[in-house]
Chain A
Amino acid sequence: MLELIGISTYSLFGQLLVGLINGAFYAILSLGLAVIFGLLNIINFTHGAQYMMGAFAAWMMLNYLGMGYWPALVAGPVIVALTGIAIERSMISKLYRVDHLYGLLLTFGIGLIITGIFRNYYGSAGLPYPVPDVFQGGIDLGFMYLPVYRLWVICASALICLATWLVIEKTKLGAYLRAATENPSLVEAFGINVPRLMTLTYGFGAWLAAMAGVLAAPMYSVNPNMGIDLLIVVFAVVVIGGMGSIAGAIVTGFALGLIEGLTKVFYPEASSTVIFVVMAIVLLVRPAGLFGKVA
């Protein structure tokens, strides 16, 4: 039936798959932003750079140390998380008592420095990262072609989102985190080390961003600029979804990825702007965001 209007199912489902993958990245990144914002009250502009660093960590481990995909998937995000912890301890933590806008400006500056350093040493052209051997090739499903690696990325992303949701909603640590988000001074009075919780939270947010970066490396070229453009879209996703709910961030991320994929099929010219248009409409209809609590 779709062939009648000139669109093959292969291209439709192919774009939907790309949309789903982008959506997965939107979900993971906005999840990290929301967790950090909830507790630290800053919007982490370094998030894009941390995503990029994840991809670069994988590339560097392969090219300098000969380490493959799996070690990179484990070690890369941890390294980025450690740099995140260092950034939080040395700089961000100094700003908790001043206006939140300064946190945004500080992390923007840090993002510029990190991106600038990578651009300086690796240029802007982008570096290839091979698809790991186990995930080579694809499956022809009859209505679409499914590259195995992409299937893995979707499964892994869904797993990461689910695990994050479980940790925050169902574990004791998550309960501390949620409590500290609501009322930090009260939680501190119960003997919980809130500053340490904040540091760990920031590290965890950076870990999430870097995880998405490693997953992205074999699909997109590893490029110093890959983070910031993605981050701006993620900001729009965050405005649409609101940062009040973990599940909301995940659902919004995936849904917007799909919308973007569909736009690529039916009206490709608008594919880079559609999420911003959705944001404008949501602001008109529901200024607080789809899952937001306060305006």
Chain B
Amino acid sequence: MTEVSQTTTALPHADTDTDPLHYWIMAGIAALVIAAPFLVYPFFAMQIMLFAVFALAFNLLLGFGGLLSFGHAAFLGWSSYVAAHSAKVFGFTPELAIFAGTATAMVLGAVFGWLAIRRQGIYFAMITLALAQMAYFVALQAEFTGGEDGIQGVPRGELFGLIDLDSDMTMYWLVALVFLGSMAFIYRVIHSPFGQVLQAIRENETRATSLGYETARYKLIVFVLSATLSGLAGSTKAIAFQIASLTDVHWAMSGEVVLMTLVGGMGTVFGPIVGASVMVVMQNTLAHLGAWIVIVQGTIFVVVVLVFREGIVGMLSKWLKRSL
């Protein structure tokens, strides 16, 4: 029995056509990012932007690569541990700490990807989940991660030794730069020849192979890219919020990023940003519900999978008859 059946309906069609509308939307998002700190609490906006980077990175893999990773928390969590530790203990400047965290996620992504692309479909998901659980146990036992307490009081430091990030507004602009840069980068990747080949592999791997593409190599590259960008989100998060904890490396976080992408619309360019915003807003407004939040999340999973598989942006895109 083949693991990925070609006869069943595939994941939603990922559109990789360029459209001037996309540039307008990105300009709109940039304007929103500039206006946000004057309208909402900067912390809140930073949280949305960093989770949006995480979800964008995840969607690059799932929506455009067709690979469902259930272990992305490992990249987010481990990069934030390394960034926090190198800033706090080694005294790295923030850009170096972020670089160190991102590089860690890249290496981890290369190892996970190298192992996981040997299998397909649900096995791929199970392997990434199992490897991430191993990364979780290592984080739980390692001395430097601080176990249940995490690494607290991470200094934000001075960017390039020049710009003091202690003020929330300065920090906000750095996060905004990371977010907008990642969005533009991912947009470029999706619409590059590499992105086109990825889509071909996702639609029909056998045919892509027969056309002479080394599909394994493409899958590994997109996996490492996705892990690296998740690491960028994780390490920036550690610096911005001055904490690295077990929450970010736990399997529940891997589930959350799947949910963000699903809600927003997998395989759409802007869906993950919408999905991350929705989930962060929801978590902040429903925080008082305590344990119920997991039930709410589970219910959203069920409802979205059963009746709303396109997600918010996917539905908008269908309605406008344009790829978004």
Contact = CB atoms under 8 A, between A and B. Distances in A.
A binds B: yes
A139 B116 CA distance: 45
Nearest to A287: B118
Contacts of A110: 298, 302
A269 interface: yes
Interface stretch (A90-98, A127-135, A148-156): A90-98
Interface stretch (B130-138, B173-181, B275-283): B130-138
A109 B115 contact: no
A117 interface: yes
B9 A43 contact: no
Contact of B127 (A109, A113, A277, A283): A283
B294 interface: yes
B11 A100 contact: no
Nearest to B297: A112
Contact of A273 (B116, B138, B291): B138
Interface string B261-279: 0100000000000000000
Contacts of B262: 105
Contacts of A101: 11, 68, 121-122, 125
Contacts of B292: 116, 120
B5 A115 contact: no
Interface residues of B, number: 48
A94 B293 CA distance: 26
Interface stretch (A13-21, A65-73, A233-241): A233-241
Q: Which among B1, B9, B11, B126 has the greatest number of chain A C-beta atoms within 10 A?
A: B126
A113 B137 contact: no
B206 interface: no
B130 A279 contact: yes
B39 interface: no
Nearest to A115: B294
B8 interface: yes
A295 interface: yes
A119 B252 CA distance: 15
Interface string A216-246: 0000000000001000110110110000000
Interface string A15-55: 00000000000000000000001000111000000000000
Contacts of B138: 273
Given A95-B305, A100-B122, A232-B251, A109 B299 contact: yes
B291 A119 contact: yes
A112 B295 contact: yes
B10 A99 contact: yes
Contacts, number: 137
A284 B255 contact: no
Contacts of B244: none
Contacts of B221: none
A143 interface: no
A86 B282 CA distance: 29
Contacts of B126: 43, 235-236, 238-239
A96 B118 CA distance: 25
Interface string A256-295: 0000000000000100110011011001100100000111
B58 to A, nearest CB: 13
A54 to B, nearest CB: 19
Contact of A284 (B9, B115, B125, B290): B115
Contacts of A109: 297-302, 305
Contacts of A235: 126, 129-130
B141 interface: yes
A72 to B, nearest CB: 26
Given A101-B68, A105-B301, A108-B301, A239 B119 contact: yes
B201 to A, nearest CB: 15
Given A41-B5, A43-B126, 7 more contacts: A104-B125, A114-B298, A116-B291, A233-B133, A236-B133, A239-B130, A277-B134
Interface of B: 1-5, 8-11, 68, 115-116, 118-123, 125-127, 129-131, 133-134, 137-138, 141, 251, 255, 258, 262, 290-295, 297-302, 305-306, 309
23 contacts: A37-B122, A99-B10, A99-B11, A101-B125, A104-B125, A106-B305, A108-B301, A109-B298, A109-B299, A109-B305, A113-B299, A114-B298, A116-B292, A119-B291, A182-B1, A232-B133, A232-B251, A233-B130, A239-B119, A239-B126, A273-B137, A276-B130, A294-B3
Which 5 residue pairs across A and B have the least CB separation, nearest first? Answer: A109-B301, A112-B298, A113-B298, A116-B294, A276-B134
